[in-house]
Structure 1
Amino acid sequence: MNIKELIKNLIYDDDYSPMTLKELEIYLKADKYTKSAIKDIIDELVKENKIRISNKKRLMPLTEDEINLIGKISIASGGYGFFISNNKDFDDVYISRDKLKDAHNNDKVRIKIIREKQISKNAEGEVVDIIERANEELIGTYQANKKFGFVICDDKSHPDDIYIDKKNSLGAKNGDKVVVEIISYPKSGNPEGKIIEIIGGKNDKNIDVLSIVRQKKIPTEFSKQTKKEILYIDNQVNPKEFEGRTDLSNLFTVTIDGRDSKDFDDAISIEKNGDNYDLYVHIADVSHYVKRHTALDDDAYERGNSTYLYNIVIPMLPEKLSNGICSLNPGQIRLTVTAKMTIDKKGKVIDNVFYESYIESDKRLVYDDVNNFLEGDDDVYDDDLLKEKLGLFNELYKILRKSREKRGSIDFNFEESQIDVSESGEVLNIEALERGPGNKMIEEFMLIANETVASLFAYMDFPFIYRIHEKPSEEKLDGFKRALNAMGYNIKGNDLHPKDFQNILKEVEGKKEEKIVNMLMLRTMKKAKYANYSEMHFGLSTKFYTHFTSPIRRYPDLIVHRILKYFIENRLNKLNQTSLESNLEEAADHLSITERRSEDAERAVEDLMKCKYMTRFIGEVFEGRISSITDFGMFIELENTVEGLFMYKFSDHRYDFIEDSLKAFDVDTKKHYTIGQEVSIRVVNVDLVKREIDFYLEDEDEIIS
């Protein structure tokens, strides 16, 4: 234990009597050399808000309330904010614009509560102290004058334009997209900054998407050392690498992916075994090429995962690996890690074996064709063996799906957005996309493989990385129940099981509000994350789950492969157990963060693409459904999955928000609006910077007699 931890533990000990700094030095028997170090440590602990100094100069532990009220500010585009406590179990606190005390996004602050939490409403607070400025990098557009300029931030949570002295402009031109670092916050006037990077000109191709990538701090360049290491990786598998591996190249094996996919990290095989099925899930052995403690591994870990932004992909691994030697291309021998699962007629895995293997994929299938075949178009393929295997795959898929449904796994049925984007960034079309039976079949096989691997290590109680999903919070659950009640549905009880949610989805299946209920339920759920401990995955209703099936695009899968290979090679021992225990918690936290970072970027780009597409329809009328009702307006989703906002304040009519039933009431026409209701809207405005779409409610003028 270092001296900093020693001092902190001492101050937080139940038997601690508050000391002054001098008394602490005497207690620690500090000599003249260590007194200075102890003072520095105390200063650090105070700055980090780990301890406080009382009015009588005594070193004090923080109370639970004091700890809870220290955290970061997250500013919304409306100018208000939410306080996020350092204590993860402490609920977020709403901070109105006039109570922010000039706090900016991600600033570390101390707050006080001015109104306690109420049903369905966050507590309200006020910033009392800005402990530390985030000093984060901001993205914006440079507006140049003769001797100075301003950066107008893309992120509207930062309300002020940033003053740039000409000497700090880095030679940026008017309209350039830039990265600015704030260097001072004067008591009055705009913050001052310096430009540290020019992303590109305002007319450069995909500059809007690249700005989002830079804002989210997603690495886009591989290190020089990684590029050197890649040169030493062969383009073809060397036969010497087959040694010690199981030859599965004679199994009939296929990949099934999207038509435009280029990296194939999973392949499947199947054989009938009496009344049972032998399912083989072959996963690219990325860990064979990406060794620990290499630059290639460091870059992959830093990215955490690949990020998909329609016409731009930021891969976790260099293309030579992701699209080349690791990709399970048809007709080419590839190194794999294989999970062979024997599954009975009830969908239970009754035996499993894992191999370091090599395969040769026979067919590269695409979802569209497989979906058509499984839906009855027998003419899609003329290969009898392929048809036979697809028939077996389909039989097993239905068994597994039924088994998962029986245990209560929640299977959402909502439409995804199919957004077609040209290479230059033009949005060609947007429409709703439903998953076909082929997509669901592959998903089912990957789920059972992930569960099987997770269960193996959970029962061995060996250090491992899991994918966990906690149950919804009471607050979110209460909001979901009220939304359901507003639509005429009811969900009882507080301690809900996944099956309760599944039953609601069955109840609304095929009805006009099905899509809205699915979306509301998804918003109610907590986000899944990675952890170094096993815990139930609520959404899947399974005790143990991990990610094993996509090591080309997810780093957690790469960790799982390395541990699994220890098991296959009978190399699990105390040494690597100790090493793993010390690293997995940090890795799980980091990889959960990188996943959220990519999801945030993907969501922002999706919103941007939808806005760009809808600019051509300003003034036109569409049909949609109300997806959410608030005290300031109604969100309405169109058939093509685009969502916009109708704000009451821009209407000539007066509206009341009926909170108990989540309804909006037009005072002038006496008309009620409910979640899931069909309405006609007109597109009135699109803001590409805020990535927001404004609607006008055409139904307003229909007076109820």
Structure 2
Amino acid sequence: MNFKDLILNIVNDENYKPMTIKEMLKYLDCDKYIKKDVKKLIKKMAKDNEIKISSKKKIHPLNIEDKSLIGEISLAQGGYGFFISDNKDYKDVFISQKNLNSANNKDRVKIRIIKNKEYGKNAEGKVVEIIQRSSNKIVGLYQKNKGFGFVISDNDSLSTDIYVDEKYSKKAKSNDKVVVEIIKYPKNGSPEGKIIEVLGNKDDSNVDLYSIIRSHGLKDNFSKKTKKEAVFIEKEVDLKNVKDRSDLSSLFTVTIDGRDSKDFDDAISIEKEDKDYILYVHIADVSHYVKEKSAIDKEAYERGNSTYLYNLVLPMLPEELSNGICSLNPNENRLAISLKMKIDDSGRVIDYKIYKSIIKSNYRLVYDDVNDYLEGKEKSYDDEILLEKLNLFDDLYKILRKKREKRGSIDFNFTESQIDVNDEGEVLNISILERGPANKMIEEFMLVSNETIASLFAFMDFPSIYRIHEKPKDEKVESFRNILNTLGYNIRGRELHPKDFQEILKEVSGKDDESLVNMLMLRTMTKAKYVNYRDMHFGLATKYYTHFTAPIRRYPDLIVHRLVKDFVDNKLGNINQASLEKKLSKNAEHLSITERNSEECERDVEDLYKCKYMKKYIGEKFEGIISSITDFGIFIELENTVEGCFMYKFSEDHFEYIEDKLTCVNTENNKRYKIGQKVLIEVKNVDLEKRNIDFDLMEGLFENTSK
């Protein structure tokens, strides 16, 4: 245990009596060589708001109120923000622009409450200390003046522009998108910065895309060290060097992926044994090639996962690995971790075994073709063995799905966007992404694999990384219940369980508001995350769950693979469990953050492309469904998944917002609007910079069809 953990344990002990720094040093029995360092550490801990030092110079633990007033700032586009406390039970606090005290988006801050919470309104606060800046790199638009310039932040994460002296301008021109590093935060006036990258003119192809990538701190290129290591990665499997593996290359094996996929990290095989099914799930053995603490490993951990941006992928691993030696390409020997599961006709995994293996995929199948076969549209294949295996896969998929439904697992059926973008960033079309039985079948096999691996470590009580999904918060459930009532659905009981959510989805299946209810239910849920302890996955209605099946694109899976291989090799006994648990805690927190960051980037790019697509339809009319109503506007989703807002707050008519019913009324004509209602809109304006689409609500018959 290091000194920091030791001090926190001492200070937070219930029998602790406050000591001065001098007394603490004596209690710790620090020798004269480290006293100075420990003293500095204590002062830094106080500065970082981990402990308190009173006016009498005594060290105190933080109380609940102290901890509740430390957290993160989330800025809105209007320049104001909300304080999100480290204490998850503490309500968000409104922070006006004048009370931000130069805090930026995602900065860690300490606040004080200046106005208590009132009915329907958040408490108001003021930032009194910036504990840690989230980033000193900002993406924005450069405006040049004589001898200096200003950078206007893209996403309102700064309430003021950034001053740039000409010597720090990197020869940027007006209207260039740039990355600026803030080098000084004056108490008064604009922050000062230097430009570290010029992305190009704001109207250049894909500059808007790279601006979003940089704003999330993501990289589109690998470091020199990583590239150098990747060059020496072997191009094919040398069977002489892998004699400790089970040879499963004669097993009939297939991969099933999207038509444009290039990295295949999972393959499947199946056999029938009386009434039982023998399912093999083979996962690329990335850990064989990516060694801990190598440059490739460090950069993969830093990225955390691959990020998919339609016309661009930011991979977690270099192409030599992801599309090369790790990809389970057909008719090529590949190293894998193979999970063999014996599953009975009720869907229970009654036995399993894990192998370090060599496999050789017989076919690289595509979802669309397999979907056509399973749906009886077309017999795309001539190989009778392949057809027999596909039928077995389909039979087992239906058994597993039925079992999962029976226990209450929630299967959302909300619409996802299919956005077709060319290399220049031009959006060709937006439609609903179709998921057929083959997509769902592979998903089902990956789910049962992840559960099986999670249960292995859970039953051994050995440290691992888990994927958990906590129960929804009571207030969110209550809000969801109220919205459902406005839609005409009645739910009994105070507390909702996974099975109850599942029943709601069944009730709305095939109805006009199915997509809407799925979306509202998703918003009710907590965010799934990685942790180093066992807890339930509410959405899947399972006790134990992890990520094991995608080590090419997710680092948590790579961590689990390394532990699985240690299990197979009987090396778990050599591991210091306390040290591993501490390491996994840090890993889980970091990887949850990288995942969220990646998802936010993907969402911003999706919004950008939807705006670019709808810009050509300004002035045209479409039918849509009201997806939400706020005190300033009505959000409407079109048939092609594009969402825009009618800002009634700025309309000529007067609207009244009825919060408890989540409806609003146009008081001029007494017309009432509610969630799930079909309306006719006209595309009024598209703001590419802020990625907003403005609609006008129209009266009269619907004449035009959605694009």
Q: Please classify the TM superposition score into its range, dividing by the shorter chain length.
A: over 0.9
Q: In the aligned structure 2, how far is the partner of 1:119 from the partner of 1:508?
A: 33
- Out of 65-74 and 344-353, give the one that drifted further: 65-74
Aligned partner of 2:323 in structure 1 is: 323
Instruction: Provide the secondary structure at the position in 1 that maps to 2:661.
Output: coil
In structure 2, relative to structure 1, the CA distance for the partners of 1:305 and 1:520 (3 Å cut) is: same
- Native 8 Å contact 1:408 1:540 kept in 2: yes
Change (3 A) 1:13 1:187: same
* Alpha-carbon shift at residue 90 of structure 1 (Å): 2.9
- 1:494 and 2:494 correspond: yes
Q: Distance in 2 between the 1:65 and 1:28 partners?
A: 28
SS at match of 2:591: helix
Deviates more, 1:255-264 or 1:151-160: 151-160
- Letter of the structure 1 residue corresponding to residue 643 of structure 2: E
- Equivalent residue, structure 2, for 1:308: 308
Aligned twin of 2:626: 626
Cα separation, 2, equivalents of 1:31 and 1:560: 41
For residues 601-640 of structure 1, the aligned pairs below 5 Å read 601-640=601-640
Q: Distance in 2 between matches of 1:268 and 1:92?
A: 46
Q: Could you state the TM-score of these two structures normalised by the residue count of structure 2?
A: 0.94
After TM superposition, list the pairs within 5 Å mapping 1:364-443 onto structure 2: 364-443=364-443
Distance apart, 1:224 and its partner CA: 2.3
Q: Distance in 1 between matches of 2:26 and 2:315?
A: 56
In structure 2, the CA distance between the partners of 1:184 and 1:297, relative to structure 1 (3 Å rule), is closer
Structure 2 SS opposite 1:660: helix
In the other structure, the counterpart of 1:94 is 94
CA distance in structure 2 between the partners assigned to 1:101 and 1:397 by the alignment: 56
The share of aligned pairs that are identical, in percent, is 63
Q: Which residue of 2 aligns with 1:540?
A: 540
Give the C-alpha shift of residue 107 in structure 1: 3.4
Residue 356 of structure 1: SS of its match in structure 2? strand
Look up the match of 2:298: 298
Residue type of the alignment partner of 1:208? D
Q: Name the counterpart of 1:168.
A: 168
Q: What letter is aligned with 1:113?
A: I
Paired with 2:364 and 2:84, the residues of 1 have a C-alpha distance of 47
SS at 1:398 equivalent: helix
Equivalent residue for 1:230? 230
Cα 1:449/1:117, change in 2 over 3 Å: farther
SS of alignment partner, residue 476 of structure 1: helix
Amino acid at match of 1:580: L
SS in 2 for 1:412: coil
Tell me the CA shift for residue 10 of structure 1: 4.4
Shift of 1:27: 6.5
How many Å apart are 1:19 and its aligned residue?
Answer: 4.6
SS state of the match for residue 627, structure 2? strand
Q: Which amino acid aligns with 1:545?
A: Y
1:647-676 deviations in Å (ceiling 9; x for gaps): 112211111111111111111110111100
- Evaluate the alpha carbon distance shift between residue 381 and residue 135 of structure 1 in structure 2; reply closer, same or farther with a 3 A threshold: closer
Cα distance 1:187–1:572, how it changes in 2: closer, same or farther (>3 A)? closer
The alpha carbon displacement at 1:355 in A equals 1.1
Provide the rounded CA distance (Å) in 1 between the counterparts of 2:506 and 2:442.
Answer: 23
Partner of 1:686: helix, strand, or coil?
strand
- Gaps of at least 5 residues in structure 2 are 703-707
Alpha-carbon distance between aligned partners in 2 of 1:124 and 1:630, rounded to the nearest angstrom: 20
Instruction: State the Cα deviation string for residues 86-141 of structure 1 (Å, max 9, x = none).
Output: 33443322223344344332333322334555677544333344455556211001
Verify the 8 A CA contact 2:48 2:131 in the aligned structure 1.
Answer: no
Partner-residue secondary structure (3-state), 1:379: coil
- Say if 2:454 is the partner of 1:454: yes
Equivalent residue, structure 2, for 1:137: 137
Name 2:705's counterpart in structure 1: none
- Cα separation, 2, equivalents of 1:166 and 1:393: 65
Looking at structure 2, the residues matched to 24 and 579 of structure 1 have their Cα atoms a distance apart, in angstroms, of: 26
Residue of structure 2 in register with 1:566 after alignment:
566
Unmatched segments (≥5 aa) in structure 1? none
**Is the CA contact (8 Å cut-off) linking 2:102 and 2:159 kept in structure 1?**
no
Which AA in structure 1 matches 2:295? A
1:182 maps to 182
Q: Which residue of 2 aligns with 1:692?
A: 692
Using the TM superposition, name which of 486-495 and 570-579 deviates more.
Answer: 570-579
* In structure 2, distance between residues paired with 1:562 and 1:34: 37
Preserved CA contact (<8 Å) 2:231 2:320: no
* Cα distance between partner residues in 2 of 1:694 and 1:605: 18
Distance 1:401 1:132, change over 3 A: closer
CA distance in 2, matches of 1:414, 1:280: 30
Cross-structure match for 1:348: 348
CA distance 1:499–1:245, shift in 2 (3 Å): same
Moved more, 127-136 or 223-232: 127-136
Cα distance, 1:169–1:463 mapped onto 2, change above 3 Å: same
Q: Deviations over 1:625-646 (max 9, x none)?
A: 0000111111100000000111
In the TM superposition, residue 491 of structure 1 has moved relative to its aligned partner by 2.4
User: Which piece of structure 1 moves more, 97-106 or 308-317?
Assistant: 97-106
Q: For residue 196 of structure 1, report the CA deviation from its aligned partner.
A: 2.3
Give the letter for the 1:365 counterpart. Answer: L
Question: Is the contact made by 1:669 and 1:700 (CA closer than 8 Å) also made in structure 2?
Answer: no
Secondary structure of the 1:483 match is helix
The aligned residue for residue 61 of structure 1 is 61
Classify 1:125/1:519 alpha carbon distance in 2 versus 1 (closer, same or farther; 3 Å).
same
CA contact (8 A) 2:97 2:159 kept: no
Q: Structure 1 pair 580/13, CA: closer, same or farther in 2 (3 Å)?
A: closer
Q: CA deviation at 1:77?
A: 1.1
Q: Please identify, of 255-264 and 379-388, the stretch whose mean Cα deviation from structure 2 is larger.
A: 379-388
Question: C-alpha offsets along residues 376-432 of structure 1, whole Å, 9 cap, x if unaligned?
Answer: 124322222222111111111111111100000000011110000001111110011
Does structure 2 conserve the Cα–Cα contact (< 8 Å) formed by 1:141 and 1:178?
Answer: yes
Q: Which residue of 2 aligns with 1:600?
A: 600
Deviations 1:561-589 (A, max 9, x none): 11111122222214354553232111111
Q: How does 1:177-326 map to 2 (within 5 A)?
A: 177-326=177-326
Q: How far apart are the structure 1 equivalents of 2:379 and 2:120?
A: 55
Q: State TM-score, norm by structure 1.
A: 0.95
Farther-moved stretch of structure 1 (559-568 vs 175-184): 175-184
Give the Cα separation in 2 of the matches to 1:244 and 1:47.
Answer: 53
Query: 2:410–2:540: 8 Å Cα contact kept in structure 1?
Result: yes
Q: Which amino acid aligns with 1:619?
A: G
Q: Which amino acid in structure 2 is aligned with residue 653 of structure 1? A: D
Aligned to 2:663: 663
**AA of the residue aligned to 1:256:** I
Displacement after TM superposition at 1:231 (Å): 2.5
Of residues 84-93 and 275-284 in structure 1, the stretch that sits farther from structure 2 once superposed is: 84-93
Letter in 1 for 2:228: K
Q: Deviations over 1:424-469 (max 9, x none)?
A: 1111100112311111111111111111111111111111111111
Q: Deviations over 1:53-88 (max 9, x none)?
A: 434444433322122112221111122211122334
CA contact (8 A) 1:432 1:640 kept: yes
Instruction: Find the aligned partners of 2:29 and 2:277 in 1 and give their Cα distance.
Output: 71
How far 1:16 moved relative to its partner? 4.3
Q: Are residues 196 and 242 of structure 1, via their aligned partners in 2, closer, same or farther at CA, if it must alter by over 3 Å?
A: closer
> Alpha carbon RMSD of aligned pairs, Å?
2.3
What residue number does 1:78 align with?
A: 78
1:361 matched to which residue of 2?
Answer: 361
Q: Distance in 1 between matches of 2:116 and 2:439?
A: 47
- Structure-1 residue corresponding to 2:51: 51
Measure how far apart 1:31 and its partner are.
8.3
Bigger mean CA deviation after superposition, 252-261 or 372-381 = 372-381
Instruction: Answer whether contact 1:287 1:561 (CA < 8 A) is retained.
Output: yes
Instruction: Indicate how the Cα distance of structure 1 residues 575 and 60 shifts in structure 2: closer, same or farther if over 3 A, else same.
Output: closer
CA contact (8 A) 1:120 1:475 kept: no
Distance 1:369 1:562, change over 3 A: same
Q: 1:185 to 1:354 in 2, by over 3 A?
A: closer
What secondary structure sits across from 2:281 in the alignment? strand
Secondary structure of residue in 2 paired with 1:548: coil
* Counterpart residue identity of residue 669, structure 1: N
Q: Which residue of 1 aligns with 2:465?
A: 465
For each residue in 1:507-529, what CA deviation from the matched residue of structure 2 results, as whole angstroms up to 9, or x when unmatched? 11111110100000111111111
How much does 1:284 deviate? 0.9
Aligned partners of 1:134, 1:257: CA distance in 2, in Å? 37
Greater displacement, 652-661 / 223-232: 223-232
